[in-house]
A and B are shown apart, each in its own frame.
Chain A
Amino acid sequence: MTGLATNLRVVRALGMRSIRQTFRRPQLMAPIVVFPTLLLAIQTGGAGAAIHLPGFPPVQSFLQFMLAGAMMQSLMLAGNSGGIALAVDIEMGFTDRLFSSPIPRFAIVLGRLAGTAALGLFSALWFLAIGLIFGAEIVSGVPGALIAIVLVTACALAVGGIGAAIALRTGSASVVQGLFPLVLVVLFLSSAFFPESLMIQPAQAIAEYNPLSLVVNGIRNPMISGINASDLIDAVLAIAGIVVLGLVLSARALRHRLRVG
C-alpha cells in the first residue's frame, strides 16, 4: 500500500513537472493550442460552406462539426510535444538520474503520460469553451461534453505512449520533432476535418480504416447528433488499441534505453 502511494506520488510529481515544462516553454505550448485554434478558425471560415454539400451530416454549423477535429489535432500534438520533452530529458541526462533513483521505471513513463493526459484535458476544455463562446451547440448537453472530455484525455494518454516510446527508443528530440508532419498526415487521412463519405479517394478509403476516425466519431457524434452506444464502444476500443500499442512499444523502448544507457 505504501509502495503504491509512493509510486502515485512520483507519477504525480513527474506529471506536474511535465505540465509546468509545457506551459513555461512557448515552443511546446504553441503547437498544442495556437496551431489547432488557428486552423480551426481558418477552416471554419474557409470551408464552412461545405455543410450545404449533399451528403454532409446535418449540423448546426461547420464549427460544431470541426470541434472534434481540432481536439484530435491538439491531443496528437500534445503527444508529440510530450515525446519531445522526454527526449530532451534523455539528452540532458535527467532521465538517467531518474533511472538511478529508487523508483520503478514505469513510473517515469507514466509521469510523462500523466502530464500529456492533463494537456489533453486542457485541450478538450479549451475547444469546448471556444465552441460555446462562438455559438456551437453540444446537442447531447453536459453528458456529451463529458464524453468528449474523457475520450480526448484518454486518447492523449494513448498517443503520448507512442510519443514516449519513440523518444525512449531514439533519445533524440529532433527525431521526435520530425514526426510533426506525420501527425498531420495521419489526421488528414481520418475523418477529423471532413465527413468520410465526402472525402476524395484514396484518402476516403484510408480514413475508413484509420482508428483515429473511430475516436473522432466518438467525440463528434454526441456534439452534433446524440450519444450512440455503438460509436462510443468503437472509440473506446480504438483508444484501447492505441494504448496497448503504446505500452508494448514503450516497454520495449525502455528495455532498449536501459541496455544502451
Chain B
Amino acid sequence: MEASAAVAAPISAWRSNLATIGALMSRAKNELLRVPGAAIPGVLAPTIFFLGLNGVFGALTHLKGFTTGSYESFIVPVSMLQGAGFTGAAAGVNLARDIEQGWLDRLLVSPAPRWVLLAGTVLAASARSLIPATFVLGVALALGAGWPGIDGLLIAYFMVAAMAAVAACWGSMLALHFKSQSAAPLMQAGMMALILTTTAYAPLALLQGWLAKVARVNPVTQVVDAARQGFVGGVTWAETWPGVLALIGMLAVLGTLALREMRRTAV
C-alpha cells in the first residue's frame, strides 16, 4: 500500500507540473488571440529583414565561393531563426511585464516548482516562433526560394523552435535579473548579435576579418548551417548533429542561468 502510494506521488506531481506548463502555454496563446497586433512586430521584423537583405545583398551570390545561386534560399533560414530570436526575446519582455505588474509574485507563491514556471514561458515561445517562421517561409517560397524537402523543412522548424527556447531562456534570465521591461533592447540586441555573427550573410570562406573568427566559434553558426542545408543542397546527418549539439549546449547553459535567477527571485 505504502509502496504504491510512493510510486503514485511522483506521477501525480509530474501530471500537475505538466498541467501547469500547459496552463502557462495556454495563457500565452490567449494573449496572442486576444491581442493579435502584439505578434505583428515579431512577424514583420524578420520578413522586412528577409526582403531587405535579399534586395540589397542578392548580388553576393555572384562571388566566387558562394554556395548557391539563390540568395533567397540562402537567407530564408536566417530570417526564420531571427523570427525565433525576436519571439524568444519577446517572451522575456512579457515576463518582465509580469514581474512589474506583480503577476509573477502570484505564481511564485503557488506550489508549482520554479522550473515549471520557466518551462511554461520557454515552451510557449517555442510554439509561438513557428508563426513568424511559417510567414517568412511562405514569402520566401513565393519569391523563388528553393523547396527544402520534407526532411529539410522539419530540421529547419526544429532548429527554429529550439532557438526560440534558447532566446526565451536568455530573455527570461535578463527579465528576472533586471525586473524591468527597460532591459528589452538588451534582450533583442543580444539575440540579434548572436544570430547575425554567423554565416548569416555569406559562407564562412567569404566572411571578412573579425566576423570570420567570431562565426567560427559562435555555436549558432552550426544551427544556421543545419537549418539552411535543405534550402541550398541535400540534408545530411553530418550537417545536422553539430546544430543539435550546439542547441543542447546553449539550452543547458542559458536554461541553468535563467533557472538560477528564477530561484533567486524572492516574493
The verdict on B212 contacting chain A, using a C-beta distance below 8 Å, is yes
The reply to whether A30 and B189 contact each other, CB–CB distance below 8 Å, is: yes
Once the chains bind, are A27 and B185 in contact (CB under 8 Å)?
yes
**A45 touching B56, Cβ below 8 Å:** no
Instruction: Please tell me if the beta carbons of A31 and B185 are within 8 angstroms of each other in the complex.
Output: yes
Q: Are B208 and A189 in contact (CB under 8 A)?
A: no
* B202 interface contact, C-beta 8 A: yes
A-B contact count (CB 8 A): 109
Whether the Cβ atoms of B196 and A47 lie closer than 8 Å is no
Question: Closest approach, in angstroms, between the C-beta of B70 and any C-beta of chain A?
Answer: 11
In this assembly, does B116 line the interface, its C-beta being within 8 Å of a C-beta of chain A?
no
Contacts of A44 in B (CB 8 A): 208-209, 211
Tell me the smallest distance from the CB of B242 to a CB of chain A, in Å.
Answer: 20
Q: Is B55 an interface residue (CB 8 A)?
A: yes
Given A30-B185, A38-B193, A46-B200, decide whether A188 and B59 contact each other with a Cβ distance below 8 A: no
- Which residue of the partner chain A has the closest CB to B182? A27
- Which residues on the B side are within 8 Å of A194 (C-beta)? 56-57, 59
Contact residues in B for A62 (Cβ distance below 8 Å): 208
A34 interface contact, C-beta 8 A: yes
Q: Which B residues are CB-close (under 8 A) to A198?
A: 59
Q: Do the beta carbons of B207 and A46 come within 8 Å of each other?
A: yes
| Minimum distance in angstroms from A191 CB to a CB of chain B | 9
* Nearest Cβ on chain A to B20's Cβ, whole angstroms: 32
The answer to whether A188 touches B202, judged by C-beta atoms less than 8 angstroms apart, is: no
CB neighbours (8 Å) of B48 from chain A are: 181, 184-185, 188
A229 in the interface, Cβ–Cβ < 8 Å?
Answer: no
CA distance A44 to B182 in the complex (A): 29
A38 adjacent to B192 (CB under 8 Å): yes
Closest to B213 in A: A45
CB neighbours (8 Å) of A129 from chain B are none
A260 close to chain B: CB less than 8 A? no
In the complex formed, the residue of B with least CB distance to A48 is B208
Q: Are A42 and B196 in contact (CB under 8 A)?
A: yes
- Closest Cβ neighbor of B44 among chain A residues: A181
Contacts A45-B207, A53-B63: A199 and B201 contacting too (C-beta < 8 A)? no
* Residues of B contacting A199 in the complex (Cβ-Cβ under 8 angstroms): 55-56, 58-59
Expressed in whole angstroms, the minimum distance between the Cβ of B231 and any Cβ of chain A is 18
A27 cross-chain contacts in B, Cβ below 8 A? 182, 184-185
User: Nearest CB to that of B63 among chain A residues?
Assistant: A49
Contact between chains at B55 and A200 (CB < 8 Å): yes
| Distance of A184 Cα from B60 Cα, bound (Å) | 20
Interface string of A37-59 (1 = CB under 8 A from B): 01101111111111011100000
A240 on interface, CB distance cutoff 8 Å: no
Known A-B contacts A26-B182, A27-B182; the reply to A46 vs B56 at CB < 8 A is no
Please state if B189 and A34 are interface contacts (CB–CB under 8 Å): yes
Q: How far is the CB of B55 from chain A (nearest CB, A)?
A: 3
Instruction: Decide: A53 and B62 in contact? CB cutoff 8 A.
Output: yes
Most B C-beta atoms less than 10 A away, residue of A27, A30, A46: A46
A47 engages B185 (CB within 8 Å): no
Which B214-231 residues sit within 8 Å CB-CB of chain A? 214
Complex interface bits, A118-141 against B, C-beta within 8 A gives 1, otherwise 0: 000000000000000000000000
Chain A residues 18 to 42 lying within 8 A of chain B, measured CB to CB, are 25-27, 30-31, 34-35, 38-39, 41-42
Give Cα A31–Cα B55 distance, bound, in whole angstroms: 23
Q: Is the CB of B55 within 8 A of A188?
A: yes
The distance in angstroms between the C-alpha atoms of A187 and B182, with both chains bound, is: 26
A204 to B56, CA, bound (A): 8
**For A204, what are the chain B residues with a Cβ–Cβ distance below 8 Å?**
55
Assess whether A181 is in contact with B45, with CB atoms less than 8 Å apart. Answer: yes
User: Considering the complex, which residues of chain B in the window 163-213 have a beta carbon less than 8 Å from any beta carbon of chain A?
Assistant: 182, 184-185, 189, 192-193, 196-197, 200-202, 206-212
A193 within 8 A of B: yes
B54 beta carbon closer than 8 Å to chain A: yes
- Give 12 new A-B contacts, CB below 8 A, not counting A27-B184, A181-B45, A200-B54: A26-B182, A27-B182, A30-B185, A38-B193, A47-B201, A48-B211, A49-B202, A49-B207, A189-B52, A189-B55, A199-B55, A200-B59
The 6 closest A-B pairs by CB, nearest first: A45-B211, A203-B55, A46-B201, A188-B52, A48-B208, A200-B58
5 of the cross-chain contacts (CB-CB < 8 Å) are A26-B182, A30-B185, A34-B185, A50-B59, A189-B52
